[in-house]
């Protein structure tokens, strides 16, 4: 083989590599588009109805005007809720707490 044949082979190999990379990129894009197409879709009005249904049926103690305050030991976000309320808390409580029970003091 002469030098010209070697260069031609190298160019062909480079061309095949480029074509292979382009094919892989197209196949990856095709797979992403298939996944996007298989994703469940709903209309905006149905999504709004689902949000409204969730917010009206799920108790959220962060909105006490709507749901009221949690009863003692029923707050799912706080395991020791009865211990942490002090006498000055608007949520009620059983008296002043010790320093070990709270992280801060409300004045």
In a domain? residue 92: no
Q: How many domains does the chain have?
A: 1
Q: In the prediction, which pLDDT does 82 show?
A: 47
In 3D, which of 82, 80, 86, 81 has the Cα closest to residue 98?
A: 86
Residues 30-39 have pLDDT tens digits of 999 999 999 9
In a domain? residue 96: no
In a domain? residue 26: yes
DSSP codes of every residue in 12-38: HHHHHHHHHHHHHHHHHHHHHHHHHHH
The residues, ordered by sequence, that sit 6+ positions from 106 with a Cβ below 8 Å of its Cβ are: 86, 88, 89
In 3D, which of 91, 88, 47, 52 has the Cα closest to residue 68?
A: 91
User: Per mean pLDDT, which of 14-23, 35-44, 97-106 is the most reliable?
Assistant: 14-23
In a domain? residue 67: no
In a domain? residue 33: yes
Residues 44-103 have pLDDT tens digits of 999 999 999 998 888 887 777 877 777 777 766 665 544 554 444 555 544 444 455 556
Print the domain residue range for 38.
3-59
In a domain? residue 29: yes
In a domain? residue 75: no
Please give the helix or strand (H or E) that residue 57 lies within, else none. helix 44-57
């Amino acid at each position: 083989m002469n030098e010209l044949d070697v260069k031609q082979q190298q160019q062909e190999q480079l061309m095949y590599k480029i074509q292979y990379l382009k094919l892989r990129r197209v196949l990856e894009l095709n797979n992403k588009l298939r996944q996007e197409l298989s994703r469940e879709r709903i209309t905006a009005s149905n999504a709004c109805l689902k949000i409204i249904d969730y917010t009206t049926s799920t108790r959220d103690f962060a909105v006490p005007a709507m749901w009221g305050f949690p009863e003692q030991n029923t707050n799912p976000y706080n395991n020791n809720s009865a211990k942490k309320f002090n006498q000055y808390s608007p949520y009620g409580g059983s008296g002043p707490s010790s320093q070990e029970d709270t992280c801060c003091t409300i004045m």
